[in-house]
Structure 1
Amino acid sequence: MEVPAGSVLLVILAATLSVAVAYDPLDPNGNITIKWDVMSWTPDGYVAMVTINNYQMYRHIMVPGWTVGWTWAKREVIWSMVGAQATEQGDCSRFKGNIPHCCKKTPAVVDLLPGVPYNQQIANCCRGGVVPAYGQDPAAAVAAFQVSVGQAGTTNRTVKLPKNFTLLGPGPGYTCGPAKVVPSTVFLTPDRRRKTQALMTWNVTCTYSQHLASKYPSCCVSFSSFYNETIIPCAKCACGCDGHKPCVRSERDTKRLAVAGKHNEHAHGRTHAGGAAAALLQCTTHMCPVRVHWHVKLNYKEYWRAKITLTNFNYRMNYTGWTLVAQHPNLDNITEVFSFDYKPVVSYGSINDTAMFYGLKYFNDQLMEAGPHGNVQSEVLMRKDARTFTFKQGWAFPRKVYFNGDECAMPPPDSYPFLPNAAPASLVSFAAVVVAALMFILAWA
């Protein structure tokens, strides 16, 4: 049977998109790896240390934190946990006396909140599920918990790996591959004088796709400059205008939130049920939770200066530990960043045209919810590259901008502020036609 060429093309295209959808060219190796280390056997199963490593350079897991789920291969149960808990116990009616912590075939596990009793804690646990980006804080980009699994087999041959892993952090967007057995992890004893080894280890790799997380961007970019009074706003409906998003039209409207008791409830992006709070945005033409404004501020003989402002339009969300990534050819010549921290992001070998900015700890690392204090800003001083530097053709504005790992909607192409002695190409073309017509008329007059 001959298959139509069009069908083959569609299959190839679908396969290509399914692979490429989670690929981030600025962080090609970024992923979250879930590692299970079986540390000891029990009469009916094992005790494992589960570690969640965030290897993403600039995407962190923010409130309400991570949720890890899976499907047991047999009839396993969770007898107990340290440093985390299952969200549901499930049906444990077949057990008498000692009742398991969770009997669900598909358990979902969340981190504990800070301040839990010491005997419920383990190293790298109990942060409410918040995990910083690896590029921002490598030492803290990890979470962990201990789990005692029963009815699971007591040897490497009888233990079956869990299936269908899921990761929510804090919403959709992550896709997890199958669990794979890897060489057993080697540990150092507390005195660092002796090595021990896990009895069995398997890894699960999860990657993020902004397209899977939301059909709309979660941020937008606007432009302005010292040489032009025009401000290029975020594109209209940059983050969607479906007519169903509630929005606040003025500061006075926030009083109704306080009266309803919702303002404090959502101040940190959580509901009482532990889920993510629905966004309540300030009414704007772009309807984005976050706007990034890039202003070309000053021009010196050997340097130039840009001002970056982040504005939060969400009345129900504080962005703690936020990150901002910008791609621009002159970011390899940064001389000074005044009130943000900064790290280069080298994605393509030796090419360094991308920078990650984030707030100074305890100063501006929290982007407050919408209102008078809902913005942070800094200035960046860059040395001019004599070979490429120019203010023409919008060269001074970034090519790409990411906030908290999501790519922001940029203004339409060629909408950047023009130099005073420059004019849009359409006007130049029109003027040329007018001049040619006049010369033609004068020649025949």
Structure 2
Amino acid sequence: MLFNKFAYPLSLATFFVTIISQAAAYDPLDPTGNITIKWDVMSWTPDGYVAVVTMTNFQMYRHITSPGWKLGWVWAKKEVIWSMVGAQATDQGDCSKFKGNIPHCCMRNPTVVDLLPGVPYNQQIANCCKGGVVASWGQDPSAAVSSFQLSVGRAGTSNKTVTLPKNFTLLGPGLGYTCSQAKTVPSSVFITADGRRKTQALMTWNVTCTYSQILASRYPTCCVSMSSFYNSTITPCPTCSCGCQSRNQCISSDSEIRTVVAMNASTSQQTNMVRCTNHMCPIRVHWHVKLNYKEYWRVKMTITNFNHQKNYTQWTLVAQHPNLNNITQVFSFDYKPLIPYQSTNDTGMFYGLKYYNDILMESGPDGNVQSELILQKDMNAFTFKQGWAFPRKIYFNGDECMMPPPDAYPYLPNSANSDLIASSAMASFLLLVLLVFW
């Protein structure tokens, strides 16, 4: 037997790529989070079937924002989509072989998008028509579902003759999902509106899509800066936290913003409109250790949007800190502890109050949201030394933010004592003033 000297290196390379991609997709703060696509065959037709496709976002803090999801797949045979309700294919394809009744889509690899709100009622089904926006399960389970109906032709007309589509993709700006192959599962059971009767799908298959930040973006999309009342130094985001590849395209002045907006309007193209900064991130999270009390301590969090063309709707922020298990009060944000799969409850999700600050506006005077937290001290662990008061990790909209190196954290002066720290409200105020103009 001849030995191919290239076979082993290629196999080894493939193995490591697979391992790395799987590791990147694993989220220790949400290890079971995924988007599950369920395909329920509801009835047979003369040349195929009618199915309801339901996309459920089981991720605790990662959602799909505007302009929404794009779902794609490859047909196993020569199937066509005769019609759709609640969604539409982006490309009809070549349907020239059909006379009279023309299919909605003849593409072998169709791409489907959600309809926009406000479409006529006869084009809607339940959980459709939200422009592809899907909330996270932890924030709003009722809005974490998106559905559409399609009639498939030139397909099998029984459980034994239907062939499952393959190579599913979940696409969209910032969406880094890898989808499994479709797998037949026990048929879904439905309850009628009056709750008195059960019905069952004729056939059901599932596809599971998992998120990878590496696939979504080559660089981080947010960074963290820090300050404290006991040290006048402000620790900025690391330089080029989000990569500096777009530094030549960033916005540095108000006049430049107006020029770019006018250019976008005339060309119908979107140009990068992130404000020029050392970190070059569209989002910065600032964690300020504000005050120290006898049994409590206080933190201020500020999220600033440096993107001049994007609002962040239904944003989420996840923080990991050992004292979050004793959080007492949260101002201006909603808060939900993420029940961990670790031994301690040290992770929580923050998000805006509905109709108040659940939309983080584009860069400008209103381009920030902020909250303060009061945490009860764990006297066995609490300290201001060695950066203990700062978060271990911060995620914004599900992406992990770039943190400063630990040796750059604001340090506690050697001469500091608890009485001095407790009476430092004025120092905290002055530092916040500096932060506003920074």
2:50 equivalent to 1:47: yes
> Residue 17 of structure 1 aligns to a residue in which SS?
helix
Q: Partners in 2 of 1:238 and 1:208 — Cα distance?
A: 21
The 4+ residue runs of structure 1 with deviation greater than 3 A are 1-4, 6-15, 169-172, 257-262
1:97 corresponds in structure 2 to: 100
Give 1:12 deviation, angstroms: 5.1
Letter in 2 for 1:175: T
Letter in 1 for 2:148: F
Contact 2:119 2:129 (C-alpha < 8 Å) held by counterparts: yes
Specify which of 293, 298, 301 is matched with residue 286 of structure 2.
Answer: 293
> Residue 330 of structure 1 aligns to a residue in which SS?
helix
Specify which of 368, 376, 380 is matched with residue 375 of structure 1.
Answer: 368
Contact 2:39 2:54 (C-alpha < 8 Å) held by counterparts: yes
- Judged with a 3 Å threshold, the aligned counterparts in structure 2 of structure 1 residues 156 and 242 are, in CA distance, closer, same or farther, namely same
Q: Partners in 1 of 2:261 and 2:93 — Cα distance?
A: 37
**Please, what TM-score do these two structures have when normalized by structure 1?**
0.89
2:79 equivalent to 1:86: no
Query: 1:145-175 CA distances to partner (integer Å, 9 max, x unpaired)?
Result: 0000000110001100001000014334110
Kindly report the root-mean-square deviation, in angstroms, between the aligned alpha carbons of the 2 structures: 2.0
Contact 2:387 2:406 (C-alpha < 8 Å) held by counterparts: no
Give 1:140 deviation, angstroms: 1.1
Correspondence list, 1:116-135, <5 A: 116-135=119-138
Unaligned runs of 5+ residues in structure 2 are 417-438
Q: Partners in 2 of 1:346 and 1:34 — Cα distance?
A: 25
Contact 2:336 2:349 (C-alpha < 8 Å) held by counterparts: yes
Contact 2:260 2:271 (C-alpha < 8 Å) held by counterparts: no
2:173 corresponds in structure 1 to: 170
2:344 equivalent to 1:344: no
Contact 1:307 1:379 (C-alpha < 8 Å) held by counterparts: yes
Percent identity of equivalent pairs: 70
Correspondence list, 1:90-239, <5 A: 90-239=93-242
Correspondence list, 1:9-48, <5 A: 13-48=16-51
Contact 1:61 1:170 (C-alpha < 8 Å) held by counterparts: no
Give 1:259 deviation, angstroms: 3.2
Specify which of 390, 406, 417 is matched with residue 399 of structure 2.
Answer: 406
Contact 1:319 1:368 (C-alpha < 8 Å) held by counterparts: yes
Q: Partners in 1 of 2:306 and 2:14 — Cα distance?
A: 41
2:387 equivalent to 1:387: no
Structure 1 range deviating more: 346-355 or 218-227: 346-355
Unaligned runs of 5+ residues in structure 1 are 266-270, 424-445
Give 1:15 deviation, angstroms: 3.7
Letter in 1 for 2:155: A
Q: Partners in 2 of 1:258 and 1:58 — Cα distance?
A: 32
2:431 corresponds in structure 1 to: none
Query: 1:303-343 CA distances to partner (integer Å, 9 max, x unpaired)?
Result: 00000000000111100000000000000111000000000
Give 1:244 deviation, angstroms: 5.8
Letter in 2 for 1:306: V
Q: Partners in 2 of 1:13 and 1:89 — Cα distance?
A: 39
Q: Partners in 1 of 2:194 and 2:296 — Cα distance?
A: 52
- Judged with a 3 Å threshold, the aligned counterparts in structure 2 of structure 1 residues 90 and 229 are, in CA distance, closer, same or farther, namely same
Q: Partners in 2 of 1:401 and 1:148 — Cα distance?
A: 44
Give 1:372 deviation, angstroms: 1.0
> Residue 20 of structure 2 aligns to a residue in which SS?
helix
Q: Partners in 2 of 1:23 and 1:189 — Cα distance?
A: 37
Contact 1:67 1:170 (C-alpha < 8 Å) held by counterparts: no
2:77 equivalent to 1:74: yes
Give 1:11 deviation, angstroms: 5.8
Q: Partners in 1 of 2:166 and 2:363 — Cα distance?
A: 41
2:276 corresponds in structure 1 to: 283
Correspondence list, 1:358-369, <5 A: 358-369=351-362
Letter in 2 for 1:374: G
Q: Partners in 1 of 2:12 and 2:260 — Cα distance?
A: 52
Query: 1:209-263 CA distances to partner (integer Å, 9 max, x unpaired)?
Result: 001111100000000001111000000000001256511112332222343354x
Q: Partners in 2 of 1:130 and 1:12 — Cα distance?
A: 35
> Residue 408 of structure 2 aligns to a residue in which SS?
coil
Q: Partners in 2 of 1:389 and 1:323 — Cα distance?
A: 27
Q: Partners in 2 of 1:422 and 1:409 — Cα distance?
A: 31
Letter in 2 for 1:136: Q
**Please, what TM-score do these two structures have when normalized by structure 2?**
0.90
Specify which of 253, 257, 273 is matched with residue 260 of structure 2.
Answer: 257
Q: Partners in 2 of 1:68 and 1:14 — Cα distance?
A: 25
> Residue 406 of structure 2 aligns to a residue in which SS?
coil
> Residue 53 of structure 2 aligns to a residue in which SS?
strand
Letter in 2 for 1:144: S
Contact 2:47 2:157 (C-alpha < 8 Å) held by counterparts: yes
